[in-house]
Structure 1
Amino acid sequence: MGSYYYAVASLPYLTFETEDVPGREEFLDICRQWGTESDLEILTRITLEPDAPGLHPLLDRYQRFETGLRNELVKQRSQNLQRDPQDYIHSDNTGDDHTAVSGLSEQVRAAVQAPTPLKADEILDRLRWQFLDELEIGQFFNVQQMIVYYLRLQILLRRNSLTKETGREEFDGHYQKVRSQMQEIQNDNGVQA
C-alpha cells in the first residue's frame, strides 16, 4: 500500500478556479515516486470517461455518477428535441441508468438551459467537482485521495484548454468544412458560386 504523504504535500491544492495546474505526466511522476506499482496501474488508466469499470471501487462510484449525469443529459436534450432517448442511454447489466441521484435532474436542467455552451459546461463540471468532494471525505494520503485528485486535475486541464483561441480555431475549421461541402453541392448541381 502506497503512502502519499509526500506526494500530497508536493502537489498544489486544487480548487475549481485553479488555472496553474501540473500536467498529467507531472502528476504521474510524483505518484511513481511515492506509490506502488498497482496504484500506478490504476492511476494511469483513469479518465473522465466512464469506461474503465473494476479498476477501483471509488472510481466505480465516480463512473456510475458520470454515467447518470450523461444519461440525464441525454434524457433532457432528447425531450427538447422530441426524440426517443433510449437509443443513447447507457445502463449497467441490471438495467440501472444511474440517473436516480437526488437533485441531479434539476441541476442538469440548469445546464441544458444555460445561455452558452461554456456556461453549461461549467455547471456540469461543478456537479462533477461536488461529487468528487463527497468521494474525498475520509480519504487521507492514500490511493483514493490520489484518484480524486487526478479526476479533478483532468477536469481543470480540460477547462483550461477551453480558450477563445482554440474555440475560434475549432469554429473556423468547422466553418471551412461546411463551406467546402456547400461548394461541392453547388458544383454537383451546376450552380455557379
Structure 2
Amino acid sequence: MASYYYLTAQLPSIFPNLQPPMSFKAFKELALRSLSKKDAQILENLSLEPPREEKSTGSAYLDKWYDFERSLRIALEQVRSAKLKWEAPISYNERVLLSSAFTPVQIARTAASIQNPLEAETFLDNARFQAADTVRGAENFSSDGIFAYAVKLLLRERASRFETEKGREEYSSIYNSILDAEK
C-alpha cells in the first residue's frame, strides 16, 4: 500500500525517554487521511488499556500488543497483591495467559521491586515501548507499523504528563490514608 509507505515516511522518529514528537491528535488527523476504512476504525478505537477479556481488534499487531499488555497488567496485579498479602481473583484463562508470559511476569516483578513509583512507571513504560517494537516485527510500512507507531506515541504522551512533585504528594497522601486505615 503506497499510502501507508508515504504516511510512515512522513512520521517523525519516536524514542523512549524523550518527549513525543507530535500529539496523538495530530498523528490521528494525519493518519486518517491515508488509512483504509477498516484501519481507520481500528485506530479510532485504539487504547493503551486492553479489555480484560481477549477480543479481536481486527489487527494482528494490536491483538498481540493487547495480549502482552493484558499479561503485564495481570502479572502486576498478582505481584502487587502478593506483596500486600491480598488475594487477587484470577480466571482460568488469565492463568493460562500468564503461564505463557514469562517476560511480562519478569517485568512485573522487577517493577514491583523498584521503591520509587515514578521510576517504576518509567521502567514499565520503557518495557512497553520495547514490546511495541518487538511485537511488530519488521513490518514498518503497513497497518502494523502505523499501529505500532500509534501505541508508542500514546505511551510517550502518557509519560510526558507525569509530574514528579504532584505524584509525590499524591503518593504520600494515599500512603498516609492506608496507614491511618490500619490503625
Q: Classify the TM-score, shorter chain.
A: 0.7 to 0.9
Q: How many angstroms apart in 1 are the aligned matches of 2:29 and 2:166?
A: 28
| Deviating 4+ runs (over 4 angstroms) | none
The higher-RCO structure (CA 8 Å, 6+ apart) is 2
What TM-score results when the alignment is normalised by the length of structure 2? 0.82
Q: How far off is 1:12 after superposition?
A: 1.0
Shift of residue 95 of structure 1? 5.9
Computing the radius of gyration over CA atoms, which structure comes out larger, 1 or 2?
A: 1
For these two proteins, the number of residue pairs brought into alignment is 172
- Report the structure, 1 or 2, having the larger helix content: 2
Structure 1 counterpart of 2:85, one-letter code: Q
In structure 1, runs of 5+ residues without a counterpart are: 183-193
Deviations 1:104-150 (A, max 9, x none): 33322111011211111111112211211112222121111011110
Instruction: Find the counterpart in structure 2 of residue 129 from structure 1.
Output: 129
Structure 2 residue aligned with 1:69: 72
Q: Is contact 2:20–2:153 with CA below 8 Å preserved after alignment?
A: no
Structural mapping, 1:26-45, within 5 Å: 26-45=26-45
The percent identity for this pair of structures is 26
For residue 66 of structure 1, report the CA deviation from its aligned partner: 0.8
Does structure 2 conserve the Cα–Cα contact (< 8 Å) formed by 1:43 and 1:147? yes
- After superposition, where does 1:95-114 map in structure 2 within 5 Å? 96-114=96-114
What is the root-mean-square deviation in Å for CA atoms of aligned residues? Answer: 2.6
Deviation at 1:102, TM superposition (A): 2.5
SS in 2 for 1:96: helix
Give 2:170's aligned residue: 171
Amino acid at match of 2:170: F
1:145 maps to 2:148: no
Cα pair 2:7 2:31 within 8 Å, conserved: yes
Output the TM-score relative to the length of structure 1: 0.78
Measure how far apart 1:171 and its partner are.
Answer: 3.1
In structure 1, what is the equivalent of residue 47 of structure 2?
A: 47
